[in-house]
A and B are shown apart, each in its own frame.
Chain A
Amino acid sequence: MENPVVYFKGFFSKKSKSNMLIVAGAGNVVTHRQQISPFAVIVRKEIGDHVRTWRFIVLLVLIVLTFVGSMYVSMTHLTNTAAISTAPDKGLLYLKILTTTDGSLPSFHIFMSFLGAILGIGLGFDAVNSEQQNGTLIRLLAQPIYRDNFLLAKFISPLIVIATLFLSLGLLMIGGGLIITGVFIEMAEVLRILTFIMLTVLYVGFWLSLSILLSVKFKQATTSALTAIGIWLFFTIFYNIVVNMVVKAFLPDPAFLSQMDILDYNNLILSFLRFSPSQLYTDATTVMLMPAIRSLGPLTVEQMAGAIPAPLSFRESVLIVWPQVTGLIAATVMCFAISYYWFMRREIRT
């Protein structure tokens, strides 16, 4: 494989390069020291490393395939959906491209709720322990850099790669949509799609920081990968079952309850389900991409009375998903803080 790091050369050092040209022009005044901070050096190297691994290429192909697949399905059914103009979120075609499906394939944001986890785990599970196993970590830390720079770079560089990936996918979608449909895109749609991309990056960031945490904890890369996948499987498959079992065992039969009580219990169950990060992500993206959705919990007829059947404004949608976003950020920061705590004072040995 040809070394793609070449493409990144000068990406982070643009400033110092231009400095260098000036210096060279002034007649080899070498006393002027152009320096890049060690943090930028590590990030640059990490991004180069990520981009040229087979692992990343496989993940990239996987995501691009699901993207193309779900786009294809929604494009073919777009005429049907657009024709039903009775729906409150009339117009907003680009959001429909992202969410429409005929049932043969889940829509892209549902796909991402589990592919994002794999992406995050795949990019982070061996971040620290493989370097320790290879004996590069001790060499790196014997250089005059701060340890937190290293850990932060391990988190930031995959995030930059992922953000670039999703941003380009999103822009491709918008551009492709413009060419195919010829419909003008609205500002609200751009904002919603950008928020969707940010949410996706944040969600991948959560799994990334969890897998980095595990890579700090476990010495073997395979152990941390398996544990991360175990946690992911638990939340995607078993967590719902466990919550349902507990609900059945502890909560009273809904047949004997008043409507208000049923509502309360439903909210309680939903709150429990929202401990799962994929639930948070699905909730948040669904609201962002479907402006007709007014609440994530059950609504009573009284609450709906007098509501105008129109799509929510961007701000209203953001307000609905704000708890979800906060939860995801909090979980990410918590994982990162724990790995920071474990890593900072630990003895590095091979």
Chain B
Amino acid sequence: MKNPVIELTGLTKLYGSLKAVDNLNLEIAKGEIYGLLGPNGAGKTTTILMMLGLTEPTSGKVSVCGYNATSNPVVVKQKVGYMPDNMGFYDGMNALDNLIYMARLNSIPESMVKEKAIELMELVGLSKAMHKKAGTYSRGMKQRLGLAEVLIKQPDVIILDEPTLGIDPAGVREFLSLIKELSKQHNITVLLSSHHLNQVQQVCDRVGIFVEGRLLASDHIDKLSTHLFSQNANVVKITLGHPLHNIEEYNQQLRTIGGVSAIEVHGNNIEISCTRNATPEFVRFFVEKGQDIMGVQLKEYGLEEIYHRYFENTLTENETYGKSGSLFQRFFFKKIKK
């Protein structure tokens, strides 16, 4: 990748013996929208804090816009707009004053501060409520105010930590499309972290799956799904009019169709996994059997499934190695103590 805006090399952060971030390597190009996905406690926020120089990495290097974020955080913070997940505003001040305060801190010329703040309030759709106290704002309004504050410094990079948390679905869609629009208009690089997968799916160019401090995969969403579900990439769900009676017989006959790897029957619904798309053959098969087909659905893998799959894998690994080890240890130490 040529001149990445964000470049993490061998980034590691230890909290005591806990590895919050484990040897992370990541490059994000200019103008890209990158989604950092992972469950709570995966180390997403820690990674973001290290990018801003708000916490020091144990080892490794963070470079944002060509500057080292650990040794030179103030330059980085001039270029990066950061919206934390749990942000607060000065409740006693009105929203506009909050924004003006941040604008002044970013050394925006005093003569332009106010008009610029008002302009941004209009952009994020808060022009009617800008003289209200920030304490009276709803979650969604605060989120927008946060975005206005991020934008007022005219950043090259925007980092959003859980931007969709606590907003209703319509608000999320609006918010994300606003971010996407801005990113495309001004060629701003966006990094957003989330555990809301389908929301991120709509806007991200690339995503990274982040579990227990490690980046398990980092690519375009469609590439991720083909990579992960190569064995049974196609799952067809067929809904019948009546429940099947002689399931075994159907099973055997279905398996004769080439490529079928698994069949699951839940009452009216039959799920057939197949290495190729054999939907017409399945439909023909059931029609010949005289079954009423109510619906046929080809399952597409969203981020949710991808995420689940990755998450499941790490869980099972833990169970097979980690847990048994500790059980053994406990057993062993008990004996010694006696």
Contact = CB atoms under 8 A, between A and B. Distances in A.
A34 B273 CA distance: 67
Given A23-B111, A30-B112, A135-B88, A144 B77 contact: yes
A176 to B, nearest CB: 34
B92 A139 contact: no
B49 A347 contact: yes
28 contacts: A30-B109, A35-B110, A36-B104, A38-B107, A45-B101, A52-B92, A135-B84, A135-B86, A136-B87, A138-B54, A138-B84, A138-B87, A139-B102, A139-B146, A141-B54, A142-B52, A142-B77, A143-B106, A144-B75, A144-B105, A144-B107, A145-B77, A145-B105, A146-B74, A347-B56, A348-B55, A349-B49, A350-B84
Interface string A15-32: 011001001000000100
B107 A35 contact: yes
Interface residues of A, number: 33
Given A36-B104, A144-B105, A347-B49, A139 B110 contact: no
Interface in A37-53: 38, 41-42, 45, 49, 52
A345 interface: yes
Contacts of B109: 30, 33-35
B219 interface: no
Interface of B: 45, 49, 52, 54-56, 74-75, 77-78, 80, 82, 84, 86-92, 101-102, 104-107, 109-112, 146, 149, 153
A30 B84 contact: no
A94 to B, nearest CB: 40
A139 B84 contact: yes
A13 interface: yes
Contacts of A140: 105
Contacts of A34: 109-111
Contacts of A41: 101, 104-105
A138 B77 CA distance: 12
A298 B54 CA distance: 55
A139 B149 contact: yes
A20 B55 contact: no
Nearest to B94: A3
Contacts of B102: 139, 143
A134 interface: yes
Contacts of B52: 142
A350 B48 CA distance: 14
Given A136-B90, A145-B74, A349-B49, A36 B110 contact: yes
A41 B97 CA distance: 12
Contacts, number: 90
Nearest to B84: A138
A146 B76 CA distance: 12
B78 A144 contact: yes
Interface centre among A140, A142, A143 (most CB of B within 10 A): A142
Contacts of B90: 49, 134, 136
Contacts of B111: 20, 23, 30, 34
Interface string A324-348: 0000000000000000000001011
Given A143-B105, A143-B106, A348 B78 contact: no
B88 A13 contact: no
A23 B106 CA distance: 21
Contacts of A350: 84, 86-88
Nearest to A53: B92
A20 B54 contact: no
Contacts of A17: 110
Contacts of A138: 54, 84, 87
Contacts of B92: 49, 52
A30 B111 CA distance: 8
Contacts of A134: 88, 90-91
A289 B105 CA distance: 43
Nearest to A39: B105
A285 B142 CA distance: 50
A139 B106 contact: no
Nearest to B78: A144
A5 to B, nearest CB: 8
Nearest to B102: A143
Nearest to B55: A347
Interface centre among B78, B80, B86, B91 (most CB of A within 10 A): B86
B266 to A, nearest CB: 44
B77 A136 contact: no
A13 B153 CA distance: 21
A144 B74 contact: yes
